[in-house]
Structure 1
Amino acid sequence: MGTWDDGPFDNDSAADWCGDLHDADPSARGAMVRAALTTAAHNTDYLDYDDAASAIAAAAIVASQLPGGDPITSAYAPDFLLAGESLDLDDDLPLLAVEALDRILGDNSEWRGLWGDGGVSEFPQITKLRAVLSGPPELSGQIALL
């Protein structure tokens, strides 16, 4: 596992997943984003680093499509997004992405454990993604009710 920075695409697992997303048929890409988020969000056992890293990349992609989301600029993100192509995503994916991020930061997560072993206790990149995915404060209560 190689990690070179703390961005959502800055590790081998996320970069590999992004390459697979780029290479996939455009009609399958939305399902791939959903699958990465679902794998992390619905995991009740030990959450593997690779699954967490892919879900973080997927969450960043979903967030980039929302108001307040950072545009995709990382050289390790899917090339089609860097080239300005769009990705058709279902409306429920922001909430699923929040669930995935919460699971990644929770107990029994290899991603959280590895960063914690390195002395990291705060995750500003994840916090920002979660805030964008949750929507404006006046809507976050509505999202929680869905």
Structure 2
Amino acid sequence: MGAWDIGHFDNDTAADFGGRVDAAAAEKKAEVLRDVLTAVAATAPQEYAHEGQEAVAAAALVAAQCPGGDPVTTPYGPKAPLPPLPADLRPLAVRALDRLTAKNAGPLDLWADAGAGREWLAGIATLRAVLAGAPGE
């Protein structure tokens, strides 16, 4: 993973994901997020969660539409505004983030190896708090 900062879109994988979200038709954008969040949330503890940076970026996009969520303003995220996202993405994003803070999670391992594990986890905790505090259905 090439990363230039600790932000949710500040790495090659997440930036590419932002482009993939932009490339999707408006009515398919939520499905792009759902697919990556589901893939990570469904990863068993003994399996390695590979799509982690994409799932974090997807969770940030979902959280941006929640009360108290921060807008995604980075130039590495999607350029076009997202349509309103379904509320059921919120608990799914929480499950994905929970998976990414457990064993065998790609991003946690990478950030910990880079000496930024605590800082990365703090950003994940902030996202999770916004998502968990928002109505999910």
Q: TM-score, normalised by structure 1?
A: 0.85
Is 2:114 the counterpart of 1:118?
A: yes
Spell out, residue by residue over 1:28-58, the C-alpha distance to the aligned partner (whole angstroms, 9 max, x if none).
111111011111111111111xx10000000
Match runs of 1:74-93 below 5 Å: 74-81=74-81, 86-93=82-89
SS in 1 for 2:87: coil
SS in 1 for 2:80: helix
State the match for 1:131 in structure 2: 129
Q: How far apart, CA to CA, are the structure 2 residues paired with 1:119 and 1:66?
A: 30
Conserved in 1, the CA contact under 8 Å of 2:14 and 2:53? yes
State the match for 2:20 in structure 1: 20
How many residues are treated as equivalent by the alignment? 133
State the match for 2:98 in structure 1: 102
Gaps of 5+ in 1: none
Q: How far apart, CA to CA, are the structure 1 residues paired with 2:84 and 2:32?
A: 12
Conserved in 1, the CA contact under 8 Å of 2:36 and 2:55? yes
Match runs of 1:34-45 below 5 Å: 34-44=34-44, 45=47
Give 1:120 deviation, angstroms.
3.1
Task: Compare CA radii of gyration and give the structure with the larger one.
Answer: 1
Spell out, residue by residue over 1:86-135, the C-alpha distance to the aligned partner (whole angstroms, 9 max, x if none).
42321111111010001011101121111111233422111110010011
Q: How far apart, CA to CA, are the structure 2 residues paired with 1:119 and 1:79?
A: 30
Q: How far apart, CA to CA, are the structure 1 residues paired with 2:76 and 2:6?
A: 13
What one-letter code is carried by the residue in structure 1 that aligns with 2:122? P
Identity %: 43
